[in-house]
Amino acid sequence: MKKIKIEKNTVQETLIIPLYGRKMCSEKFPKLYTDIFAKELCDRLDYDFSELEKKNNSFLYEFGSLEAAMRQLDMIWEIKAYLKKRPKATIVNLGCGLDETGKACDNGLCRIVNVDFPDVISARKQLITEQEREKNIACDLKDYSWMDEVDGSNGVIFFAAGVFHYFKMDEVKSLALELSKRYSGGRLVFDSVGKLGLKLMMATALKNMGINNVDGLFYVNNPKKELNWSERIKVTSKGYMLGYYDMKSPGIRFSHRLLAKMADKIIKMAINKMEFE
């Protein structure tokens, strides 16, 4: 198969870093996590991975790849649990990038929708074949017209992985309330961090975007209290790193698990679930 050239300093390149992290995690910790889509996609790319490969044995980079892996495993757990009750539901990947979580959850009956900015969807279409029962929507998440293309008649589960950190608090609230109005019986799953976590984890990324103050951005210290936005929304929350899996797997060190515990407790990393009644 012909390899696809990825140029430096392009939209495509920004999508490769999390993709490579998932591939690396699959190789280092296969008993815990496997992402066949990430490996297959990386193999199709004509890109110099040497700089990323140099970081392979860095403890912090390893932990960063584990963060990406655990988040995806948590999302998969929630999606599959929802599909058990509503097997023909629609899975909606909000801010999808090159992520293929929908396919990892495919039961042969559900529908998959991927939503992201037009330039990202353009890159995605070059690299990933859109399958039967799958649809890509090129749209800003804050422009709710994309919702008109999402069928929730057989149930719908929306998920956002690493997306809402870049939103303002009122933007996430507005989006959640709009979804709750349109999709009774639906569900929204997303990750969050506390204020300290946002400052620590997002400092470099936000600085590059010219953002120096996180006060207006989306962070959550107490999900059940702070996300209690409507009587029609039921909120539950679990730890991001250890809330679903104990991470006791070959290759994962005690220091990895200790840092994971600190991430959940101190940085307030969480997976939040909103059920729309």
- In the numeric block, which tokens belong to residue 177? 């309330």
Which SS3 state, helix, strand or coil, does residue 180 take?
Answer: helix
DSSP code string of 199-218: HHHHHHHHHHTT----TTB-
| pTM for the model | 0.92
Q: pLDDT, tens digit, for every residue of 115-142?
A: 999 999 998 998 898 999 999 999 999 9
Q: pLDDT, tens digit, for every residue of 149-196?
A: 999 999 999 999 999 988 999 999 999 999 999 999 999 999 999 988
Q: Is the pLDDT of residue 11 over 80?
A: no
The mean pLDDT value for 196-201 works out to 80
pLDDT value of position 50: 87
pLDDT band at 64 (very low <50, low <70, confident <90, very high): confident
pLDDT band at 198 (very low <50, low <70, confident <90, very high): confident
How many angstroms separate the CA atoms of 216 and 102, rounded? 31
**Segments of the chain assigned E as strands:** 4-5, 45-46, 90-94, 111-116, 134-138, 156-160, 187-192, 233-239, 270-276
User: Is the Cβ–Cβ distance between 16 and 97 less than 8 Å?
Assistant: no
Helix, strand counts (H, E) of the chain: 10, 9
How many angstroms separate the CA atoms of 193 and 223, rounded? 10
Give the residues across from 91 on adjacent strands. Answer: 112, 157
Instruction: Give phi and psi for 28, each to the nearest 5.
Output: -80, -35
Closest of 129, 83, 128, 127 to residue 108, by C-alpha: 83
- Average pLDDT along the chain: 91
Closest of 39, 22, 70 to residue 256, by C-alpha: 70
How many angstroms separate the CA atoms of 221 and 261, rounded? 16
In CATH, 59-276 is 3.30.470.20: no
- In the numeric block, which tokens belong to residue 5? 């050239």
Instruction: Give phi and psi for 135, each to the nearest 5.
Output: -140, 135
